[in-house]
Amino acid sequence: MANSIKVLSDKCVGCGQCAGACPFGAISTLERPEQFKLAVIDLNKCAYCGICSQTCKFSAIELKKDASQSSVDKSEYRGVWVYAEQRRGEIAGVVYELLNEGKRLAKQLGTTLSAVLIGDGIKSKAQDLINRGADKVYVCDDPIFIEFQDDPYTSILTQLIKKEKPEIILMGATNIGRSFSSRVAARVRTGLTADCTSLEIDVETRNLQQTRPAFGGNIMATILTPQHRPQMSTVRRKVFKEAKVEEGRKGEIIDCKVDVATLVNRTKFLGFIKDASSNVNVGDADIIVSGGRGVGKSEGFKLLEELAELLGGAVGASRAAVDSDWIPYSRQIGQTGKTVAPKVYIACGISGQIQHTVGMSSSDIIIAINKDASCPMMQTATYALEGDLYEIIPNIAKEIKTIRCND
Amino acid sequence: MDIIVCIKQVPNTTNVQIDHETGRLKRDGVESIINPFDEYAVEEGVRIKEKIGAKVTVITMGPPQAEAALREAIAKGADEGVLVSDRAFGGADTLATSYALSTAIKSLGKFDMVICGKQASDGDTAQVGPGIAEMLDIPHVAYVKKAEAADDKTIKVERMMEDGYDLIESALPVLLTVVKEINNPRVASLKGKMAAKKAVIKILDAATIGADALKIGLNGSPTQVMKIFTPPQRTGGEKFTGEAREVAAALVKRLSDLSLI
C-alpha cells in the first residue's frame, strides 16, 4: 500500500489552477502537441494534501490516500481536558482562556470539562479552576513536580490519560506546553496540532476540527485526528477570551495517586534566573506600536518607543525585525512570537504576512503605516496611512502633544 | 562523542511575494535553504566538536534534492550527511516524521547527543524534536540557549522560558532543541566547501532502516488535513494619503474622536 496521486490526462485542460494552489510548488504545466497543456506533479515534492484535487474544476486529479489506522475504541474516550499549566504556583493566563473554549466544546459534545493540575503544593489552586468553568480538577501533587521537567510531567500526564481516557486535551502553546505535549502525544501515539487558531466540533463524529496557519504560506489548514484519541491541540495566549470567574462554583477535586517509582527522571533542575526585560509584557498592553522590515534599522525602533511611551503602550515587532536583531525576541508578535489583542495596534512598516497577522488580527483597531499601499496590512487595516513612517510617526507624536496641550 | 544534528530543507520565505489574486505565496524560483533554526543546531554541534572532540552527523528526511542541505551543513563543519528518503515517507505528520527520523538515528549506531532547531520555519510546530527524543527513549530539553557538556555522561544547559531561563542538567544521551540565542552560525570556509563537494551522502530508505510501514507516511500519521483555505481578509477601512503632516493629523483626529487619545 502506498499513497497515489495522478493527473487524468484525458480530463486535464492545463488551466494551471492546481499549480497555483499547491502549497509545495509540486505542480507544473507541460505543453502537449495539439492538445491542452497538462499538469504534472513532482512526487518528490508532493505531500498528498489533496488541495489540488479540491481545486480542480475538471476532476482531473485522482488522489488515493492510505488511511491511518488505530486500534483505539473511540467510544471509550469521553470528556474535554485542559492542562492547567502552573509555574512556581501561578496558573498560566492561557489556562483560563482554554477553560472558556473547553467549556464550549464540552457543551457541544454533551460531556464534562476537566482541568489537570500538576505541581507541588498547588491543590489550593483547584477551586480557581472550578470557578473558571472546570467540572473536575485532577490534582497531581508531589515534590517531584516542584519545577517543570519533561520526564516526570510526561509520565504523570500519560498515566492519567491512559486511565481516564479523555477525548480532547487542550494545552497552552507555551515553552512548557510545547516541550512536553509532543512527548505525551508520541507516548500515547496520537495526533497533536500546534498553535490552533480555531477549534470546532463535528458533533456526529465527535472529531475536533483544528484550524491553524499552514505550510508557511498565506493559507490556513483544518486538521483532524479522525482515528486516534485523545485529540490534542496547543493554543497560544490571547487566541480565546478568558473564562469569567464564578465565585463558589461547585466542582469535584480529585487527588491523583502519584507513584514516584513509576516516574523516570533523567534531568535535574538546578535553578532559575529571572530575565528583567521580560517584565515588559507586550501581550498585556492596550496599545501596541509594532515595527517590521520597513523600519529598516534598529535606531528606527527608538521612534516607535517614543510613540508607544506617549500613548502608554508597548513596542512590538514582526519576525523580520527580530531576525535582523533590531529588537529582542521577547517583543516578537506572530506565529513564532506572541499573540496579542490590544485596543489599538499600530503596524509600522509591516507588510502583513499571515505569520504575523495570526498574532494580532483580533486587535480592535489596526493602524497601518506603510509606503506600499498594496500590501496586505494596508489593505486590511482600519486606518491605512500611506507614506514614510519616518515622516508620519513624528507628526503623529506632534499632533497628540498639540491635542493634549489644548485640553 | 557522537553528535547527530537533525535538519530540514525549507523554502526560503523571507523574501517571498504574495500572489494578490490567490492570496498565496509565489513559489516560482523560491530557493531551498536549511531551516534557519537548524543552522544554530549545526553550529552548536560543530562547536562542541571543536571544543571536546566529536563526530557530527547531519541527518534529514526529505526528497532527493534535500541532499543539498546536508552538503551545506558539511561545508559548515559537519562530518557526515545522511538522507532519509523514500516515497513511503510522503505525507508524514510530526508523529510519523519523528518515528522515521528516530528509526534512522537508531540504525546509525551509538550517539551521545541529538541537536535540533527549536522548530522549522515552514511548519512551525516545534513537535518533531521532543517526538524523536520520546521514540529514542532519551531525555530532551527544549529551547536551549546555552549548552555545556560537563563530562561524557552529563550536560548542563540553559532553557529559555517566558520569564527568564532555567538551569537544567541532563544525563547523556540527550536531545536538545536550540534557539537562536545559543550561537552565531559561521559561514562555510573554502575548505569546508571542498569537503562538502567530495562528501558521500548516505541514503537510507524505509526498508534499510527497518521502518514499520504502518508508522510512516500518511499511514503513520494520526493527523489529517481536512481542508486548506485562504483566510477571509479583514475588510479594509479608511485610507489616508498625502503629506505626512496631513495624514498624521487625520489619524489623530479619528483616535481622539474615539477617545483613545
Q: What is the ipTM of this complex?
A: 0.91
Are the Cβ atoms of A387 and B10 closer than 8 angstroms? Answer: no
Cell 485610507 locates to: B239
Is B257 in CB contact (< 8 Å) with chain A? no
Going from N- to C-terminal start, the domains of chain A cover: 4-64, 74-262, 281-406
Q: A303 CA to chain B: closest CA distance, Å?
A: 15
Q: Record the cell numbers describing residue A379, joined without a space.
A: 489593505
Q: What pLDDT digit, counting tens, does each position of B121-138 carry?
A: 888 899 999 999 999 999
Query: How many angstroms away from the CA of A349 is the closest CA of chain B?
Result: 15
Beta-carbon separation of B166 and A148 below 8 A: yes
Q: Give tens-digit pLDDT for A313-359.
A: 999 999 999 999 999 988 999 888 888 889 999 999 999 988 898 88
User: Mutation test of the interface with chain A: which of B9, B17, B24, choosing the one with the most A Cβ atoms within 10 A?
Assistant: B24
Band (B18; pLDDT cuts 50, 70, 90): low
Chain A contact probe: residue of B15, B16, B140 with most A CBs at under 10 A: B140
At the second CATH level, the architecture of A4-64 is 2-Layer Sandwich (3.30)
- Contact assessment for residue A202 and residue A105, using Cβ atoms and an 8 Å cutoff: no
Q: Is B137 on the interface with A (CB under 8 A)?
A: no
Asked, colleague to colleague, whether A4-64 and A74-262 share their fold, the answer is no
Q: How far apart are alpha carbons A22 and B192 in whole angstroms?
A: 36
Residue pLDDT, tens place only, A89-100: 999 999 999 999
- Specify the pLDDT at position A1: 46
In this complex, do A43 and B87 lie within 8 Å of one another by their Cβ atoms?
A: yes
CATH 3.40.640.10 fits A281-406, yes or no: no
Q: Which residue of A has its CA nearest to B92?
A: A47
If you average pLDDT over residues A53-82, what whole number do you get? 87
Nearest CA distance, A230 vs chain B (angstrom): 11
Across A368-377, average pLDDT: 94
CA distances in angstroms from B228 to A52, A341, B117, B224, B250, listed in the order given:
10, 25, 27, 11, 39
**Is A364's pLDDT higher than 90?**
no
Nearest to B165 among A51, A219, A275 (CB): A275
Q: What is the pLDDT of residue B20?
A: 56
Query: Which domains, from first to last, does chain B contain?
Result: 2-215 (3.40.50.620)
Beta strand pairing call for A113-119 and A136-141? parallel
CB contact under 8 A, B171 and A2: no
Indicate the residue type of B116.
C
Rounded to whole angstroms, how far apart are CA atoms A164 and A78? Answer: 9
Per the document, the length of chain B is: 261
Which residues in chain A are closer than 8 Å to B125, comparing Cβ atoms? 182, 194-195
What pTM did the predictor assign? 0.86
Of B84, B145, B162, B214, which to mutate for an interface test with A (greatest number of A Cβ within 10 Å)? B162
For an interface test with B, give the residue of A15, A189, A218, A372 to mutate (most B CBs within 10 A).
Answer: A218
Angle between helices A175-188 and A150-164 (to 10 degrees): 50
Number of residues that this document lists for chain A: 407
- % chain B with pLDDT above 70: 92
B134 contacts B194 by C-beta, under 8 angstroms: no
Rounded to whole angstroms, the Cα distance separating A147 from A262 reads 18
Select the residue of B64, B134, B169 nearest A186 (Cβ to Cβ). Answer: B134
- B residues 67-106 near A, CB within 8 Å? 87-88, 90-91, 93-95, 98
Contact A399 B167 (CB under 8 A): no
Instruction: Find the mean pLDDT for residues A72-88.
Output: 95
Fold exhibited by the domain A74-262: Rossmann fold (3.40.50)
